[in-house]
């Protein structure tokens, strides 16, 4: 049997000096010396050996695992107590009579452009989630099943990349729009009650809402946005910046390694994976809880789809906004009619199908994780 030369042997194909020529270039035409530093079959990124041999991968992975853990260490107990508090409140008020649907006053909560933007975001996110999970789990039954509509793993990766580029384009356009709006002096984008920028009052609202959960204080008075709606908005920013940047680095490995060392691809791949899992878990558990699972929103908060919310509900959850609209004489302008029954069915059907798909993906990832080796 012919002996296999080790990677430190100059005659070995995988020797650092000519690895890009004799190994990388066989699959990646035009691979340069930078790609030679890509670590093939790296050890578990959180292992002690990785900490010693590949500290960049170790510390970036540990940081993002800590970030993901921190988000869920806060939100899981928080949403659990929130569900209990609302369930108890609904039980205490179970004998109160609600108005008939046709008699309820509806207020425009979201503009047409905001609803379209959210719908595009939902479709893109779910497409990226399905194709991303398909590729990540491609060696399992889950991955193979999810990849079928795309013609297999390669097709799923292609669709994933196309939706990734599309979403980053939309995000860039949104950022340009906000900057332009701020520069031309449009009110409400960076400051004021309509702004999504966090202020000190939002931090106080977190504390007050936590106190309300345990019956210690009154429910905080929100204007147009609650603190968790602002959190979700900025979470999209940080998620897209991280997942988008790492995704672009992996889009063309030859181009990337012509500028950056190959080991950056290892770091990008793990950061991309962890942040993507964090985003899916947060959306499918926390965001869906707030907008669908909790008693006051169950079975679905469809405001973001048809744009209108009941005045009675808004007076309870966003009283400061309603009072401000009344004081400014703008509330009447926002009164809208109930959408046709068929339209409501379409909105609820779409929203509930996204919730169901998200839950199935999450459960599938947990169930088939035993077949994977991180």
| SS3 assignment for 223-266 | CCCCHHHHHHHHHHHHHHHHHHHHHHHHHCHHHHHCCCCCHHHH
User: Is residue 46 pLDDT above 50, yes or no?
Assistant: yes
pLDDT-above-90 percentage for the chain: 45
| Contact present, 358 and 283 (Cβ < 8 Å) | yes
| Contact present, 35 and 257 (Cβ < 8 Å) | yes
Mapped onto helix, strand or coil, the DSSP state of residue 308 is: strand
Overall pTM surpassing 0.75 (yes/no): yes
Span 39-46, average pLDDT: 84
For 245-265, write each residue's pLDDT tens digit.
Answer: 999 999 988 888 888 998 999
For the chain, what is the mean pLDDT?
86
pLDDT-above-70 percentage for the chain: 89
**Could you tell me the CA-to-CA distances from 310 to 181, 285, 344 in Å, in that order?**
30, 25, 14
User: In what helix (H) or strand (E) does residue 200 lie, and over which residues does it extend?
Assistant: helix 200-213
Task: Look at residue 43 in the predicted model and tell me its pLDDT.
Answer: 86
Which of 71, 24, 43, 12 shows the shortest CA–CA distance to 254? 24
**Higher per-residue pLDDT: 34 or 251:** 251
Of 54-68, 178-192, 307-321, 327-341, the range with the highest mean pLDDT is 54-68
Split at pLDDT 50, 70, 90, the class of 126 is very high
* Contacts of residue 362, Cβ cutoff 8 Å, sequence gap at least 6: 280, 281, 284, 285
User: Is residue 64 pLDDT above 50, yes or no?
Assistant: yes
User: Is residue 374 pLDDT above 50, yes or no?
Assistant: no
| Contact present, 341 and 349 (Cβ < 8 Å) | no
* Contacts of residue 29, Cβ cutoff 8 Å, sequence gap at least 6: 254
Which of 37, 44, 71 shows the shortest CA–CA distance to 58? 44
Rounded CA-CA distance 115/368 in Å is 35
Mapped onto helix, strand or coil, the DSSP state of residue 337 is: coil
Mapped onto helix, strand or coil, the DSSP state of residue 219 is: coil
Of 2-6, 132-136, 351-355, the range with the highest mean pLDDT is 132-136
161, with CB counted inside 10 A (0-12, 13-18, 19+), is middle
| Contact present, 82 and 215 (Cβ < 8 Å) | no
| Contact present, 306 and 108 (Cβ < 8 Å) | no
Which residue is listed with tokens 């390694």?
257
**Higher per-residue pLDDT: 114 or 245:** 245
Neighbours of 254 (CB within 10 A): 16
How long a stretch of residues is the chain?
Answer: 374
């Amino acid at each position: 049997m012919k002996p296999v030369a080790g990677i430190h042997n100059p005659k070995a194909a995988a020797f650092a000096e000519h690895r890009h020529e004799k190994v990388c270039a066989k699959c990646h035409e035009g691979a340069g010396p930078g790609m030679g530093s890509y670590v093939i079959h790296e050890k578990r990124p959180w292992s002690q050996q990785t900490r010693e041999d590949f500290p960049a991968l170790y510390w970036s992975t540990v940081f993002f695992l800590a970030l993901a853990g921190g988000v869920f260490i806060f939100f899981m107990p928080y949403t659990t107590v929130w569900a209990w508090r609302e369930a108890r409140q609904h039980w205490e008020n179970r004998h109160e009579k609600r108005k008939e649907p046709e008699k309820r006053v509806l207020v425009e909560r979201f503009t047409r452009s905001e609803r379209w933007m959210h719908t595009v975001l939902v479709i893109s996110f779910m497409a990226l989630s399905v194709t991303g999970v398909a590729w990540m789990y491609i060696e399992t039954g889950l991955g193979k099943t999810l990849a079928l509509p795309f013609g297999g793993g390669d097709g799923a990766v292609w669709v994933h990349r196309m939706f990734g580029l599309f979403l980053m384009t939309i995000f860039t356009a949104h950022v340009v729009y906000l900057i332009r709006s701020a520069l031309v002096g449009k009110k409400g984008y960076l400051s004021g009650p309509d702004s999504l920028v966090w202020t000190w009052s939002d931090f106080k609202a977190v504390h007050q809402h936590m106190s309300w959960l345990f019956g210690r204080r009154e429910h905080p008075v929100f204007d147009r946005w609650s603190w968790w709606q602002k959190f979700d908005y900025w979470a999209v920013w940080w998620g897209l910046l991280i997942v988008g940047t790492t995704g672009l680095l992996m889009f063309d490995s030859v181009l990337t390694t012509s500028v950056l060392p190959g080991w950056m691809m290892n770091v990008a791949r793990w950061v991309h994976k962890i942040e993507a899992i964090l985003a899916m878990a947060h959306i499918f558990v926390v965001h869906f809880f707030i907008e669908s699972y909790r008693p006051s929103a169950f079975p679905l908060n469809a405001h973001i789809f048809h744009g209108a919310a009941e005045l009675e509900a808004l007076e309870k959850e966003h009283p400061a906004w309603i009072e401000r609209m009344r004081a400014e004489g703008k509330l009447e302008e926002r009164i809208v009619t109930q959408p046709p029954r068929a339209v409501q069915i379409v909105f609820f059907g779409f929203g509930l199908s996204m919730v169901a798909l998200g839950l199935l993906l999450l459960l599938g990832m947990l169930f088939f994780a035993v077949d994977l080796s991180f």
